[in-house]
Amino acid sequence: MNFPALKNDNLLRAARGEDVDRVPVWVMRQAGRYLPEFMEFRKEHEFFEICRTPEFACEVTMQPLRRFDLDASIIFSDILVIPQAYGMTVEMCPGKGPVFPEPLKSPADLPNLQPNGTAEKLSYVGEAITMMRHKLEGKVPLIGFTGAPWTLMGYMIEGGGSKTMSKAKSWLKDYPEDSNTLLSMLTNSIVDYLEMQVKAGAQLLQVFESSAEHLSKEEFLEHCVPYLKDIRDKLHERLEAQSIAPVPMTLFAKGAGHSLAEQSKLGYEVIGVDWTVDPLEARKQVGPNITLQGNLDPQDMYKTPEEVKALVEEMVKKFGKHRYIANLGHGITPLTPIESMKVLVETVHKAF
């Protein structure tokens, strides 16, 4: 595809377990509402209009890179584009988050989903990725991403965010076969979608299992882990069959700190951890051959610059320079002071 040569490959080297010049740092939701220029852009354009218009997606992806010395960019999109591709309506309501006016009410609704051609329907994400690779001029690598099956199933059934994911959890218990049908359908679409993203130029892929936090360890191992493993294995098979080099993959299962040892065996190079996990304990659980990513509490970003600096120094010291990607333990929140981002990035870079 003849993309510009990569100048700062610390993220990819960290993911592969190679030495780095400095600890790479990026932030989940780094293009988002804490940036005034994002809010300005959102006044003019609806959320999914930005996702679907490669020029707009690239502009917003670029915004945090203009302000901060980040070591990665992540393509602007959302995990809910897959349910949209299935024919479900998803609206992004400011202040409320995503809303599905017609969520899945029972397994009788499953035949209405249209999973065929998901990657083709989402070709606009691939176009944005390819365009972004050129616009980046090799400055930093570009991350592609997807929601994981359980997290997507949760939103499709709850009709939006939920404090408990109670309806979706009831499906797991009351309709185990239909739940497996849905989770498998999503798994297959995700493999197609990620394959398309790699072909378009994504240099690392992150799988967000954000709703793992609602499951017990036992439920996570039963309803998430097999599909997460499948995604990685099938994608690798698919790429290998076409002689396409695989890219490193990150698994971020929020709230699944109980199963880091199990996560480390799924073939993902990087495991993301939230702030409830102690870095030393995480390293003990995953062993030496996995890269860890995380995990400052997004709430810590509201502290004074001096406090943020001290907390980041402590975090980086605990994770160490090798096989580590600095990040928050979840997405940055809308009222975060810009100054905290500067302190985070600078402190990580000065650490070693």
161 binds ligand CP3 (CB under 6 A): yes
42 binds ligand CP3 (CB under 6 A): yes
310 binds ligand CP3 (CB under 6 A): no
Interacting span for ligand CP3 (CB under 6 A) from 25-33, 221-229, 273-281, 282-290:
25-33
CA-based nearest residue to 348, from 324, 323, 331: 324
Catalytic residue list contains 78: yes
- Position among 145, 150, 268, 324 found at the interface with ligand CP3 (CB under 6 A): 145
307 backbone dihedrals φ, ψ, rounded to 5°: -70, -40
Question: Is the N-terminal amide bond of 295 cis, ω within 30° of 0?
Answer: yes
Catalytic residue list contains 21: no
Residue whose entry in the numeric block shows the structure tokens 């035949």:
111
Catalytic residue list contains 13: no
CB 47 within 8 A of CB 41: no
- What is the H or E stretch that residue 349 is in? helix 338-350
Residue whose entry in the numeric block shows the structure tokens 């600095």:
326
Question: SS3 string of 125-172?
Answer: HHHHHHHHHHHHCCCCCEEEEEECHHHHHHHHHHCECCCCCHHHHHHH
Binding mask 65-84 for ligand CP3 (x = CB under 6 A): ---------x-x-xxx----
Complex with ligand CP3: residue 98 or 283, whichever CB lies closer: 98
Please give the distance of CA 190 from its chain centroid, rounded to a whole number: 13
Catalytic residue list contains 29: yes
Q: Least distance to ligand CP3 from the beta carbon of 291, Å? A: 18
101 binds ligand CP3 (CB under 6 A): no
149 binds ligand CP3 (CB under 6 A): no
Q: Which residues are part of the catalytic machinery?
A: 29, 33, 42, 78, 155
Contacts with ligand CP3 by CB under 6 A lie at 28-33, 42, 47, 74, 76, 78-80, 92, 94, 97-98, 145, 161, 208, 210, 331
